[in-house]
A and B are shown apart, each in its own frame.
Chain A
Amino acid sequence: MSIKIINEKCVGCKLCVRTCPFGAIELVNKKAVIDLHKCTLCGACIESCKFDAIVLTKINPTDMPFPKKFDEYKGVWVFCEQKKGVVQSVAYELLGKGRELADTLGVELCGVLLGENVKGEAQKVIHRGVNKVYLVDEAALKHYQDEPYSKVLIQLIKEHKPEIVLCGASSIGRSLISRVAIGIHAGLTADCTGLDIDIKERLLLQTRPAFGGNIMATIICPNHRPQMSTVRHKVMKEAVENKHYKGKIIEKSYDAKIYYSRTRLHDVVEEIEETVNLTEANVIVSGGRGMQSPENFKLIEDLAKSLGGAVGASRAAVDSGWKTYSHQVGQTGKTVCPKIYIACGISGQIQHLVGMQSSEIIVAINKDPHAPIFTVATYGIVGDLFEVLPELTRRFKEALKR
């Protein structure tokens, strides 16, 4: 890819200079000049230019340097992450998308399940509509560990050659799949929000947000197989369960060597919180600086409880020590996309917005009518949250009979 300015068309209006997220464009002699050292080819300037004076030459997938045929690579795989012997819902969401992709390509959809005593779970995966489950049932795979899991998955991919591998963008998924992609020289795209097929080229079109969600990029992997993507929890819709679905369980076992891990898992500690896991929650009630003190978070907790939701916090609240880091939503915390996100006393700085703006419904409660949070809110309440929150809690309790 390359980028250039057509000097004849550039009028020196500076729109692109202001737009560039990387400060890579300067005006020299009234013409825009791109510093290619700083430019990341993100394309933001192209949209800003009203005179079509900036051209980004894109790579044409058909004239890539090493065209290879990948006829032997067939099928869509979903890595079915399990914890404590239970397949996680993100896997079922990927199976929903995976079915669509497999049908478009006219190939099989397969699940991959690693664990100990998880044959029953393999059957559940079949009920979500896969043709096959590759199962490796071993004591050494009971809990996730980087090395045995990545070695086994690499081995399975080498043996069976899927064309697409999908994996949840969870802490396990991200640690595992990055290692696997290196091991088999595959392309990997993180946090895809859209997956589609270019049927002519049999390419997976992976769309993901970049630069805090302000730019979307579509990414392909033309010369390597499999094409691998991670997808966050709750982005795709779960595959429907049907107990009549039939599929094959293919049990694999390997030499003890493959299960060897240099790291040792000593303990799995679950922190018992008053509320549920943030990334799993359908409803999140978050508090920010406007809560004023840790005691006032009780109001947030009460509302969350009445809605059966989780408690989140802005960075300001976490940095003040009002809530622990595991509650932090935003750029340096967690990215969440619940059905309903209620932001209380959160002004809505960009770092917070990037962590929650893909929520389905956003409710903002803030006393400042100019707070940026209102620009992303579906419903806004300008008011004193110490009055609004208790009232909301009471009414939701009543309405939902909790």
Chain B
Amino acid sequence: MNIIVCIKQVPDTTNVRIDPETNTLVRSGVQSIVNPFDMYAIEEGVRLKEKFGGTVTIITMGPPQAEEALREAISLGADGAILISDRAFAGSDTWATSYTLSRAIQKIGKFDIIICGKQAIDGDTAQVGPGIAAFLDMPQITFVKKIEDIKDSLMRSERMTEEGYDIVESPLPCLITVVKEINEPRLPSLKGKLRAKKAEIKKLEAKDLDADPDLLGLKGSPTKVVKIFTPSPRKGGQILEGEVKDVSEKLVELLKSEIC
């Protein structure tokens, strides 16, 4: 079974603090990490390989330093990695990103499953996974919380919904996006880390893809950012003081009319 996992390198917000004085983010020293949802995608890919055999190929589109993210994925058990990087891709929105990734996937050749994290934590759109599926005209199952079984080229999965989950069956090849509940990612092994260090990362540039240059990067992106601003911070709150029964009474008074 050949598996492709699409990942993204994002700024790590784990160590970001809020400055209590100014009520703004302290951004200094923010590191780049693999998008947390993609860690579940990598893990699921490796688990499927361990169960059914085959290979796991990780791909990412991003700047040259996104190579670190690919090496991390290899340390977790992936077999190969491809960095799709070119200045021509800069400024891509989700349409152009889906297009570029789908062209790169066509270059890779035969595969059975594409796995993406449900969304990236910097953009939060959840649009690229289904976008790739649409470009490649593949069936998709989004928000997968469990792969129940794969048999006779049919995959049965549980898709998370607001009320519970749907059980959906799809023929392979198929694209899935995964949520946190699907697994618990492993830590890299020492052997894995050594392998990652030595692994050769394949690189693809715009000229390597059979892509229409007009559909790449900023030029190929239907949406354009015209304004960026900082939202007005939430107003400072009111601390209720006193004995438990007093503060409780105050709060009930304050909220009573809001609840009906």
A-side interface residues toward B, CB under 8 Å?
1, 17-23, 36-38, 41-44, 46-47, 56, 58-59, 61, 64-65, 83, 143, 146-147, 150, 170-172, 174-175, 178-179, 181-183, 185-191, 205-206, 209-224, 261-271, 277, 279-280, 282-283, 307-308, 325-326, 328, 331-333, 335, 339-340, 349-351, 353-354, 357, 360-364, 369-370, 372, 374-384, 387-388, 391-392, 395-396, 399-400
Contact = CB atoms under 8 A, between A and B. Distances in A.
Contact of A350 (B13, B125, B128): B13
Determine the main DSSP class of A at the interface with B: mixed
A187 B162 contact: no
B171 interface: yes
Given A181-B127, A266-B167, A372 B27 contact: no
Nearest to A88: B162
A379 B236 CA distance: 9
B95 A188 contact: yes
Interface of B: 11, 13-14, 16-18, 20, 23-25, 27-32, 36-37, 63-65, 87, 90-91, 93-95, 98-99, 121-131, 133-135, 139-143, 145, 156, 158-171, 174, 179-181, 218-219, 221-231, 234-241, 244-245, 247-249, 251-252, 254-256, 258-259
Contact of A395 (B123, B134, B142, B248): B248
A187 B247 contact: no
B113 to A, nearest CB: 13
Nearest to B154: A264
A170 B161 CA distance: 9
Given A216-B229, A391-B244, A41 B162 contact: no
A265 B167 contact: yes
Contact of A190 (B91, B126, B234): B126
B13 A351 contact: yes
A350 B237 contact: no
A211 B228 contact: no
Given A181-B131, A351-B13, 5 more contacts: A61-B224, A261-B139, A372-B20, A383-B247, A392-B248
Contacts of B235: 378
Contact of A21 (B27, B98, B170): B27
B231 A400 contact: no
Nearest to A18: B28
10 contacts: A178-B131, A181-B95, A182-B134, A214-B25, A216-B230, A269-B164, A269-B166, A350-B14, A388-B248, A391-B245
A381 B225 CA distance: 41
B237 A380 contact: yes
Given A65-B219, A375-B20, A379-B240, A351 B224 contact: no
Contact of B244 (A210, A378, A388): A388
A316 B36 CA distance: 15
Nearest to B66: A37
B244 A187 contact: no
Given A170-B162, A217-B228, A179 B133 contact: yes
Contact of B18 (A41, A59, A375): A375
B206 to A, nearest CB: 15
Contacts of A395: 248-249, 252
B164 A270 contact: yes
A379 B238 contact: yes
A392 B134 CA distance: 51
Contacts, number: 309
A147 B134 CA distance: 9
A37 B63 contact: yes
Nearest to A331: B121
A265 B142 CA distance: 13
B28 A191 contact: no
B168 A265 contact: yes
Contacts of B29: 23
A220 B224 CA distance: 5
A215 B228 contact: yes
Nearest to A43: B228
A270 B30 contact: no
Contacts of A261: 139
B222 A224 contact: yes
Nearest to A22: B11
A186 B99 CA distance: 13
Residue in A263, A307, A377, A396 whose Cβ sees the most chain B Cβ within 10 Å: A263
A185 B222 contact: yes
Contacts of B234: 357, 362, 375-376
Contact of B90 (A36, A224, A362, A396): A36
A170 B159 CA distance: 13
A339 B65 CA distance: 42
A19 B231 contact: no
A383 B169 contact: no
Contacts of A171: 142-143, 159-162
Given A178-B130, A188-B127, A332-B37, A146 B140 contact: yes
Given A188-B127, A372-B18, A392-B248, A42 B223 contact: no
A399 B255 CA distance: 10
A179 B133 CA distance: 8
A33 B56 CA distance: 38
Given A214-B230, A279-B162, A377-B237, A182 B247 contact: no
